[in-house]
Structure 1
Amino acid sequence: MSSDLLVTKCFAILSGEEPALARAEFESILHLANFEAELTWNQNLVVFNTGKHNLAFLLFRAAMIKEAGYIIAESSALNEDIEWIPEKKLASSIQPTETFCVRTQSLVSKGMNEYRQQITNLLGTKIKHLTKAKIDAKRPNAKILVLLTSNGVKVCRSYKSDSRKKLMNKNSAKKPFFHPSMMNAQLARVMCNLAGVMSGKIAYDPFSGSGGILLELAALGAKTIGMDLNWRQLMGSKLNLIHQKHTLFSLIQGDARVPPIAQHFCDSIVTDPPYGRASSTRGSEATNLVTEFLAAIPKILKPNGMLCIAGSNKMRIPEIANDLGFKCAYHIPIRVHSGLIRDIVTIRV
């Protein structure tokens, strides 16, 4: 059996921006990868058992994982030496042709500078001796991360998330069409993960606007359907999708309350209904609009399909869902600014 398929102890460090949202995204991606794992949390660090091959899936999908990897060795004490680290495991973590660096991160104290410098030097020297690989502090191919926690020390092979940088670049990149209400790429990706969007499956945004969510649905390989009443926004979203070289999408001008979509056609729905000054509901009051839309989703989603919806807390989406007989899998409030708290809600039909 390939070493990548063997179950090993792994870790991930999540963004500290919205801890509850980051945890929910992480748990949702584990579910998508079809494995159950016992999670041990320590602030924004999570330790779990899985195959190394699943790390690539986690790092590709997640918007809120900063880095992840596997644990080479761990000790319950801050040892003055590194003799407790198996040489064979240490040597196999770095290839001779790679350049590497050793970094430390403390979750317990801002101090311990002397110990951190000591273990960095010892590990760097040891790995260089065992593998003949070269140290490169600026642009290394590989990273050894030493985590100092309340439970001791963990020496890890760490992989940085490329997805986070790509998502941030999407926000700053010039798009053919822009609207102030367009959702940023990071939050759109998180919502796609919460809804269980998968490549080749049908994903639908009934309030697609200028296409912020559509771009992430398409980026994940879903068969993407967008709908909006506003023709100008629909055409703008088409320009944005084509600009990012997406082709597997359909756009419909229509009303989310009476969607022209076949029964049980969609695997998932990800949406951000209009609210606030920058958006228009075309004369429909936002709360009533969402109520009528939610009432229609059992006809649209396949059995066991998932909806992830964002909205101002003033819209009371969780209460509306409960009144309609739905059970919210997640309800996560996030503060956008002093005047807006956004509820992220997931519902399984």
Structure 2
Amino acid sequence: MLYVEILGNLPEMAQGEVRALLEMASPEFKIIERDYLFLAVKGDERAFPFLNRLGLAHEYGRLLFSAESLEELYSKAENTEWEKYIQGTFKVDRETMANCSHRVEDVERKLGALISKRGFKVNLSSPDTLIRVYCGKKLWVGVRERFFKAKPFNERKADQRPFYKPIALPPRVARAMVNLSRARREILDPFMGTGGILIEAGLMGLRAYGVDLRKDMVEGAKRNLEYYGVKDYVLKQGDATKLKELFPNKTFEAVATDPPYGSSATLGGRKREELYEKALSSIYEVLDGYLSIAFPAQFNAEKVAERIGFEVLEKYYQRVHSSLDRYFYVMRT
């Protein structure tokens, strides 16, 4: 068993990202329970290489057990083979979630004392093993495998890149979009802009293909990819509605993209809805797999996509600001 603690800003999308990565790891792996921002997962270490790609998560680890009460927690802890999970020193750390329904103020001290009686040494400043207790509707005990620090994501925000444009997806969301596309080897972004989605894809070890109508964007995206150490990419100046011409005899396993939201009369010489529909048709022609895409809420993406031939699998709502509500969609050819 495993656990994942997801972020709270887009929790449904975060859960979908976890589900997609588990699906890629093994058809047997799945989320079996959610307790606020805590996901209990059926899976094992085979999922680790995929969960390491997570964007909308705080951490993941091995889930040891759950309990309905503190008494049950301590009883199960007494019968846990801690030597299987603790390497070197340890520390017990508590996460009190918004729906915590137990009095857990003393759980770190009591559980730590119980474990230390078994011969393990406590280190509160730099432990080798971090034991996590989550308090929600239930109590959950696990061992952290990986924590996703905010700093690396912050260093890849739009205003930190050599080529900067203010309108760009946050890196964590861009990464989640790549993961929702189930990309294993490569990905295409036909509206790449400054390259935010491709940066995240490249850092995961995927080959990044990008298209933009503007020459300055293509050159700027290249600068950004090189700056973050991404070397395996193909960038082209061209029209997202004519992908088959740009990539003759090429089929992509995954596409992730964030088309422009301009609400003025034209975008690249076309009305917004016309551009979206033509782009969806163009993507359909070169895709054999999954599409992760964002559209403003006013656009009836499901109706248009299904008419083209896509199967719409998932949609996640986000209110960005007073003038923009959008949905993130996952579709399949």
Fold shared by both chains (TM-score > 0.5): yes
CA–CA distance in structure 2, aligned partners of residues 219 and 308 of structure 1: 18
1:169-225 Cα deviation digits (max 9, x unpaired): 322772110012222211110110110122xx2311111111111111211211111
CA–CA distance in structure 1, aligned partners of residues 213 and 72 of structure 2: 66
Structure-to-structure mapping, 1:112-127, within 5 angstroms:
112=103, 116-127=104-115
Q: Which runs of 5 or more residues in structure 2 are unaligned?
A: none
Query: What corresponds to 1:63 in structure 2?
Result: 55
Structure-to-structure mapping, 1:2-151, within 5 angstroms:
9-38=1-30, 39-55=32-48, 57-58=50-51, 60-79=52-71, 82-86=74-78, 89-96=81-88, 98-106=89-97, 108-109=99-100, 112=103, 116-136=104-124, 138-151=125-138
Change (3 A) 1:47 1:110: closer
Query: What corresponds to 1:306 in structure 2?
Result: 290
**Equivalent pair of 1:90/1:127 in contact (CA under 8 Å):** yes
SS of residue in 2 equivalent to 1:48: strand
**Equivalent pair of 1:67/1:161 in contact (CA under 8 Å):** yes
RMSD across aligned C-alpha pairs, in angstroms? 2.5
Change (3 A) 1:171 1:78: same
CA–CA distance in structure 1, aligned partners of residues 236 and 87 of structure 2: 51
Query: What corresponds to 2:156 in structure 1?
Result: 170
Out of 77-86 and 126-135, give the one that drifted further.
Answer: 77-86
Letter of the structure 2 residue corresponding to residue 49 of structure 1: K
1:150-175 Cα deviation digits (max 9, x unpaired): 34x33221244226542233227721
Out of 157-166 and 291-300, give the one that drifted further.
Answer: 157-166
Residue 66 of structure 1, CA deviation: 1.5
SS of residue in 1 equivalent to 2:160: coil
Letter of the structure 1 residue corresponding to residue 309 of structure 2: G
Out of 239-248 and 14-23, give the one that drifted further.
Answer: 14-23
SS of residue in 2 equivalent to 1:190: helix
CA–CA distance in structure 2, aligned partners of residues 33 and 80 of structure 1: 32
Query: What corresponds to 1:286 in structure 2?
Result: 272
CA–CA distance in structure 1, aligned partners of residues 155 and 57 of structure 2: 16
**Equivalent pair of 1:205/1:214 in contact (CA under 8 Å):** yes
SS of residue in 2 equivalent to 1:208: coil
**Equivalent pair of 2:90/2:131 in contact (CA under 8 Å):** no
Change (3 A) 1:89 1:296: same
CA–CA distance in structure 2, aligned partners of residues 40 and 214 of structure 1: 32
Out of 156-165 and 22-31, give the one that drifted further.
Answer: 156-165
Residue 324 of structure 1, CA deviation: 2.0
Query: What corresponds to 2:204 in structure 1?
Result: 220
1:334 equivalent among 309, 312, 318: 318
CA–CA distance in structure 1, aligned partners of residues 172 and 126 of structure 2: 26
SS of residue in 2 equivalent to 1:176: coil
**Equivalent pair of 2:187/2:253 in contact (CA under 8 Å):** yes
Instruction: Report the identity percentage.
Output: 24
Does 1:318 find its partner at 2:302? yes
CA–CA distance in structure 1, aligned partners of residues 247 and 20 of structure 2: 27
1:265-300 Cα deviation digits (max 9, x unpaired): 21111111112379x822221211111111122321
CA–CA distance in structure 2, aligned partners of residues 293 and 281 of structure 1: 12
Letter of the structure 1 residue corresponding to residue 3 of structure 2: F
Out of 140-149 and 164-173, give the one that drifted further.
Answer: 164-173
Query: What corresponds to 1:5 in structure 2?
Result: none
CA–CA distance in structure 2, aligned partners of residues 118 and 209 of structure 1: 50
TM-score by length of 1: 0.86
Q: Which runs of 5 or more residues in structure 1 are unaligned?
A: 1-8
Change (3 A) 1:104 1:262: same
Change (3 A) 1:139 1:56: farther
CA–CA distance in structure 2, aligned partners of residues 83 and 34 of structure 1: 33
Structure-to-structure mapping, 1:229-240, within 5 angstroms:
229-240=213-224
Letter of the structure 1 residue corresponding to residue 36 of structure 2: Q
**Equivalent pair of 1:107/1:147 in contact (CA under 8 Å):** no
**Equivalent pair of 2:157/2:171 in contact (CA under 8 Å):** yes
Letter of the structure 2 residue corresponding to residue 150 of structure 1: K
SS of residue in 2 equivalent to 1:181: coil
